[in-house]
Amino acid sequence: AATFLSSPPSNQRVSGGSAGESSSAEPEQQAEDPDTLQAMCQEWIDKLTQFSTVYALASPRTLLCRGRLRLISGSPAEGLKLLRKSQQLAAKMQMPYDEALALQLLSRHTKGSARESQQAA
C-alpha cells in the first residue's frame, strides 16, 4: 500500500459533523502563523514528491510547487531554478498546461520576458 496517500498531515484539522447537525455547518477556520503554514506546505510537497516517484507525470508540478515555496520563503534564486526545471521537464514531457504555469511564474519573478530567462538557463 502506498503510504503517501494514507492520511493528511498530522497538524491538519478535520472537523466532522454528527448526523444531527445541519449540512450548512462551515468548517472551522483558523489563522495559522507563517512558520506553521510553511511547514504544512513542505509536508504536502514531500508527499507530492513521493507521488512523483511512482507517477512521473507529477514531476513538473512537484518542481513547480517546490519552486513557488522557495520563492515565497526567501530563496528566489533556488525558486527560479526549480521553476526553470519544471518548465523544461513539462516541455520535454509534452505537458503544455504545466509548462505554461511555470512560464507564467517565471515571467512574474524575472526581469524581461520568460523566454529571455529560459535562454539564460
**Whole-angstrom distance, CA of residue 61 vs CA of residue 98:** 7
Answer for the pair 86, 39: CB distance below 8 angstroms, yes or no.
no
pLDDT-derived band at 10, boundaries 50, 70, 90: low
State the pLDDT at residue 43: 95
Domain residue ranges of the chain, discontinuous segments joined by +: 33-120
State the pLDDT at residue 49: 95
Using one digit for the tens of pLDDT, what is the confidence trace for 32-60? 788 899 999 999 999 999 999 999 999 99
Position with higher pLDDT, 102 vs 18: 102
> Measured at the alpha carbon of residue 55, what is the angle toward residues 54 and 58, in degrees to the nearest 5?
125
Global pTM reads 0.66
The C-alpha cell at 73 is 520563503
State the pLDDT at residue 91: 97
83: three-class secondary structure by DSSP:
helix
